[in-house]
Every structure is written in structure tokens, then in C-alpha cells.
Amino acid sequence: MDRTGGSGGGSDRRQTEESKPLLGEMSAPEGNKMGAAPCRRALLHCNGMRYKLLQEGDIQVCVIRHPRTFLSKILTSKFLRRWEPHHLTLADNSVASATPTGYMENSISYSAIEDVQLLSWENAPKYCLQLTIPGGTVLLQAANSYLRDQWFHSLQWKKKIYKYKKVLSNPSRWEVVLKEIRTLVDMALTSPLQDDSIHQAPLEIVSKLLSENNNLTTQDHESIIVAIAPLLENNHPPPDLCEFFCKHCRERPRSMVVIEVFTPVVQRILKHNMDFGKCPRLRLFTQEYILALNELNAGMEVVKKFIHSMHGPTGQCPHPRVLPNLVAVCLAAIYSCYEEFINSRDNSPSLKEIRNGCQQQCDRKPNLPLRLLHTSPDLVSQEATLTESRLKPVIVTSNEIHVEVERNNTANQKMTANVGNDSEPNLIDCLMVSPTCSTMSIELSAQADRILGCYVEILKMLSDYDDWRPALASLLQPIPFPKEALAHEKFTKELKYVIQRFAEDPRQEVHSCLLSVRAGKDGWFQLYSPGGVACDDDGELFASMVHILMGSCYKTKKFLLSLAENKLGPCMLLALRGNQTMVEILCLMLEYNIIDNNDTQLQIISTLESTDVGKRMYEQLCDRQRELKELQRKGGPTRLTLPSKSTDADLARLLSSGSFGNLENLSLAFTNVTSACAEHLIKLPSLKQLNLWSTQFGDAGLRLLSEHLTMLQVLNLCETPVTDAGLLALSSMKSLCSLNMNSTKLSADTYEDLKAKLPNLKEVDVRYTEAW
């Protein structure tokens, strides 16, 4: 809107916004410095028009050098002498031309522009801007009134922002600075320009101001946050400002600013952020905000209400970005709990090694070569090879996490070589059938423990929403947590609730995420199965997962093959304890001929016949496949391996269910059997090889074995609680040719006595004993 000014020196004009002081104080109107000029001066009121902030554009330029007293006379001229077309760029500090020639040979600094006004002529209207500079005037002519107004507001904005940057870069009094910030915020909110940078630029100015001044009081912090709050309603805070907000959340979590100001900001971030990777401080701010909520009196109840507010009251969350952003915050927070250890360790144990360590729950020694009484070239060669491959223990310590890992790969190599091999193992292999020995104990600091508890609880909350569960299951596949977290008992125990929710969901897109994404990469199904790093319930969750997976549209045979290859032991143990799902699984394995090994088939049959439900289902299967009965009539298995964590009762139930007269090789390694099982072992007349590694088998059981199993040839007592009292009884077992007493309470005298009384003894392991 144009207004015509009077022709006399007393003409009254409104003051432009540019001429207002930064603090907003109103000054007296200036007199007309231009003399009698019949020009129209436009002051733009908010008329509803909106403009995009110009960064560059084409416009006509005319520069007039003159004393200001002649300006009005020149402006009333009907024709100006010369206009030049220029492509102008509105930079942060000045106005410059892409072709620095003519009028725009030199750029015009915003500090040199005294005034910006809108002008037009009465007789020949042209859409002009007047830039008042020292010693002259720059006229800019646009093609139409909209472009003219766009240039006007863009120049005004650039000039004001430049001034604020200068004024706030060197603050003197903070009460003045606070007024300046409020004026800056008001300017951004009332500007007719519509552009992301309009609200972002003031935030960046305040962000830089805060980053360069660290001596502010808490009251100053809160005053500044409240002042800029209106700009945060529709804009993400810049990185430095996020850092400032994080500091406030950490230092004053109970401040009302956290609830009243930060809540809408975090809600906007979670609803609209597309990638935390590009702005990680937004994620950190969200993380600190949630932790601040958890510090309130109601604690997790406040967090729960916040999560519910993000989901909404309906059954379907209307904001698709909320869940991925919340999960990203949770994953980053959980990772930070273990980050110090992850960054400080030199040699990381693999997840398989950690899993084995958690499975065994006892100190292990690296596998050393056996000490031989009667050496042979082959055995000497093996001893040299094993010695070269021996690994030293790795001990890593940090301020928050203490981990001791002792590793050796030799045993794993031995086991891998024997998988699927029906031939009889050599004597050294019989003594070294354990998985890699390792231990891991993780202790978090109090602060890390609080963070872990808060964000695992949030994952539980997310899993309770039906519409979020499919996406959550997908986001947690493959397993996104560090292996240190998976080896931490508290973490896996708390996270078990989430996995249970997946296992209970009948939708395939949910429970299919329990499986690994590819071969060799463990999934939740593997971690929470018996023997897995996270299993603490003897397989109840594992049975639930198998039940839901078998009921889906998966290829049954393929799934059974996977179970037979990787989880046959846990399946048999649960079936032995009467779990109906596992009984059905074993029957299907027999029906589909999944198992090729006759001994394994016979062990499955014996397992089925040990319970009423298994016996009934097996009889129904035999009615359909008579060859199974024929297989059983040929006698029992020659080799048998009891699943890990089996007990004396499990062994008794299995051995009482069928015929084991042909059993020659029995492995009870890493089970929970005790000396009480000896009364069942002595009923195996053909037994030649017995592995009791890492069991609670003691002296009483050893004495009973020595009285009845006189034909035993290989005995592994590694890491059992036997003492000299029981070991001396072995002198009556004249057939023994291989004996492992590693990590027992063997004395040197008893060792010498056994060597003298066991003439066939060729291989002996006495490491980590007094006799070593």
C-alpha cells in the first residue's frame, strides 16, 4: 500500500520497522530529510500477504550520488537517466551482483544501508525500492508490486539479522540481551516472510550466543528458553541449542521448563524427524528429556503417559515416524550404557564366546595339550599344534564394566570337525568335547543402570501397542544391541517381556522376526533357547516360540531341519520333561525323516517313550510308519548325548524308557547331574566312554562307577568336584586308557598311584592340579 507524503519539510511520516531500535523503544519521528518531494512512501502493514525469502534474483538497479537535500528533486523527475539489469544475491553480510560492474561494481554492506523504503511515481508508477546509503541512493526496480514487496521484506530481514548478529555477538549486560532476544523472536513471528530460515536464523543466533557464554546462571538459562519457546513450536532446535537443552535436562530435570517448554519440542521431533543420523543431537536431546521425565516423582508413570500421548488415544497411531524415532532413541541410549567398555577393549569376544561363557557360569581354563604317558608320533604332533594355537587370557577393565574373558579356539575346531561324523572319535577328541571356555561378568554404574532400566521399560511399553508391534519386531531384527548387552543378565531378563509379546502375537509379520535373518546370524529365537545367552526359564519361552512358528505358514520341513541342526538338544530336554509342543516336534522329525543318524533316532524314540503324552503320540506315529518299530527292535543307540542343563531326574526318565544295552558312548557334559545318577549309569553294561565334564559328579558316584563299570575305557572328569578319595577308587578300572582330571583336586601322590595301577593308561590330563 502506497502513501503520498506532503511536499513541505513538515510532512509527517510513519517510522519504518527498520528505523526502530533493536530493543523496541519508540523514538520521536524524524523530520523529512529529503525536502519537498512529491513521492509516495509505503509502509507495509500486515495485509495477509506471505512471501518467500529471496536469496537472489534479477532486478533493475540505478545509483544516484547526491547530497540528500537534492534527492526529492531528482525523484520527482519524470525520467531517470539510466537503469542497469543485475542479478543480485542477498548474502549474509551484503548485497552483491553476479556481474560486479557499473553501479554494482562493489557490494553494498548491510551496515552501510541506512534505510529501506518503498517508492513509486504519481505520473509513471514504477515498482521501486529506495536504499539509502552514505552519499547517495540505490534504487531497485521490480517487475510488479509482489516482487517489489518480496525484495523489500527480504532486504529488511537480512539487514535486521545482520544487526542482531553483531549486537548479540558481544553481550555486555544479560538483562539487555534478554530483551534483544525477545525482540528478535517477535520480529521472526510477525514477519510476512514464509521460509524455514526465518525461525531458524534467530535460533542459530541464540544457539551461538549460548555456546560462547558458559557462565550463565540457571535463571538466565530458563529465561532464554522461555523467550525462544514460541520459535520452537514449528522448528527443530539447532545442534548447539540441543546441547544447551541437554545440559538443562541433566542439571535441572525437575524444572517446569522441561514439562512446559521441552515437551512440545520433543513431540514435534518424534513426529517429524526423518533421520537422526543427520542430526544426532536431536536424538540426544530427546534421550535426555525422557531421562528428565523419569527423574520426576512419578518416574516411569510420567514416561508412560508421554509415550501414550505420542501414540494417541485411538488404536492406530496417526504419526508413522513416532515409533522409529522412539526406537532409535532407545537403541542409542542402551548402547551408551555399554559404550565405555566397547570403546576401551582391545580384543572383542565374539557373541558365541560370550554365549558359551554365560551358559557355563564357571571359570574356564584355556585348552592345553594333554600330557601323555606313552607318546606316539601322531600325538606328539597334535601336542605341538595345540601348543601353538593356545591363546592367552584377555582381561579388560573399565570404570563401569569389568569383563574377564579367557578364550581358546582349539576346542571349537575339534567340535566342528566332528559334527555330523558317525565315526568313532579319537581319544583326545573325547576329552575335549566342550565348547570354548569363557566367562563374562558385566557391572554397570548406577547412572548407566538407571538409563538401561528406563529405556528397556520404554521398549516394553512400545510392545504393548498392537499397531506398533509389527514395526517394532521388524526394527529389532537383526538384533541391534551390542553383544555386551546380550551377555548382561539384567538386560536380557528385562527384554524377555518384549520377545514374549512377539511370540504371543499370531500375526506372521510379528513372530517371523524371531528368526535370524540369515544363516550364521543369531536371532531372538537362538538367544532365548536353552543354552542361549538369554535363556533363564529352562526353555518355556523357546517352546512358545516354536509353537507359534510351527503354527504359521512356514515350510514345516525346512523349520524342522533347522531345529534338528541347531536345537535338537533343547527340544529333547523339553520333550523329556513333558512339553507337548516339543513332543510333537520330535514326532514330526521322525515322520519326515529329518534325522539320518540311527543313534539319534533311537534317542528321540527313548525320549518320546519317557512320558505318557510322548508314548501316545509315538504309538500313533508307529501305526503310520511301521519301520520305526523295526528300528527300535534292533536295539538301543550306541552313542547318547544328554542336553545341557539336564538333571538327574531327566537322565533317570530317559534311561528307564527304553533299551540301552548297546550304549557305548555317553556324554553328560555341562549338565546338572550329580553323583546320584551313578545308580543309573551302572546299569549300562556296554558303556566304554563317559564324559562328565563340568558336572557336579563327586566322589560317591566315582566309587560306585569303579565297582561296576570295569570295562570303561575313556573317562572325562574335567572341572568336577572329585578329590583324591574318589580318584583312588579308579585304580580298579584296569581298562582305562584315557583319563581327564583337569581342574580337579588331584594330588601328586594320587596321580603317581594311578599311573602305577593303571597299566593301559595312555592319555592323561592333569592341568591345573597339584600334579601338574
Quote the CA–CA distance of 119 and 13 in Å, as a whole number.
13
Quote the CA–CA distance of 329 and 246 in Å, as a whole number.
14
Strand 714-716 and strand 689-691: pairing? parallel
Residue 136: closest CA among 34, 10, 271, 15: 34
Give the pLDDT confidence score for residue 160 in this predicted structure: 92
Give the pLDDT confidence score for residue 5 in this predicted structure: 37
Average pLDDT, the chain: 79
Per-residue pLDDT at 362 exceeds 90: no
Maximum Cα interatomic distance, the chain, rounded to a whole number of Å: 132
Average pLDDT on 413-427 reads 36
pLDDT per residue as tens digits for the range 675-711: 999 999 998 888 999 999 999 999 999 999 999 998 8
Long-range CB pairs of 16-20, under 8 A, 24+ apart, other chains included: 16/43, 16/115, 16/116, 16/117, 17/156, 18/115, 18/116, 18/156, 18/159, 18/160, 19/115
Give the pLDDT confidence score for residue 446 in this predicted structure: 93
**With the C-alpha atoms ordered 395, 399, 401, 402, is the resulting torsion angle positive or negative?**
positive
Give the pLDDT confidence score for residue 334 in this predicted structure: 96
User: In this prediction, what percent of the chain has a pLDDT beyond 70?
Assistant: 77
Question: For residue 127, what pLDDT band results from cuts at 50, 70 and 90?
Answer: confident
Quote the CA–CA distance of 154 and 763 in Å, as a whole number.
91
Burial (CB < 10 A; 0-12, 13-18, 19+), residue 678, is buried
Per-residue pLDDT at 397 exceeds 50: no
Alpha helices, DSSP H, located in 656-723: 678-681, 699-708
Per-residue burial over 455-467, b = 16 or more CB atoms within 10 Å of its CB, e = otherwise: bbbbbbbbbebee
Give the pLDDT confidence score for residue 122 in this predicted structure: 63
pLDDT per residue as tens digits for the range 33-80: 333 333 333 333 445 789 999 999 999 998 887 655 555 555 545 455
Quote the CA–CA distance of 154 and 104 in Å, as a whole number.
19
Give the pLDDT confidence score for residue 328 in this predicted structure: 96
Quote the CA–CA distance of 13 and 19 in Å, as a whole number.
12
Low-confidence winner among 19-28, 63-72, 285-294, 447-456 (lowest mean pLDDT): 19-28
pLDDT per residue as tens digits for the range 80-113: 568 899 999 999 999 999 999 998 999 999 999 9
Quote the CA–CA distance of 772 and 770 in Å, as a whole number.
6
Residue 105: closest CA among 73, 74, 161, 61: 61
Give the pLDDT confidence score for residue 68 in this predicted structure: 53
Give the pLDDT confidence score for residue 168 in this predicted structure: 85
Question: For residue 401, what pLDDT band results from cuts at 50, 70 and 90?
Answer: very low
Long-range CB pairs of 175-181, under 8 A, 24+ apart, other chains included: 176/23, 177/209, 178/220, 178/223, 178/224, 178/227, 179/23, 179/24, 180/22, 180/23, 181/206, 181/224, 181/227, 181/228
pLDDT per residue as tens digits for the range 483-536: 889 989 999 999 999 999 999 999 999 999 998 888 778 889 989 987 788 888
pLDDT per residue as tens digits for the range 182-219: 999 999 999 999 888 898 899 888 888 888 887 778 88
Give the pLDDT confidence score for residue 169 in this predicted structure: 81
Per-residue pLDDT at 404 exceeds 80: no
Average pLDDT on 709-725 reads 93
Q: Which has the higher per-residue pLDDT, 390 or 63? A: 63
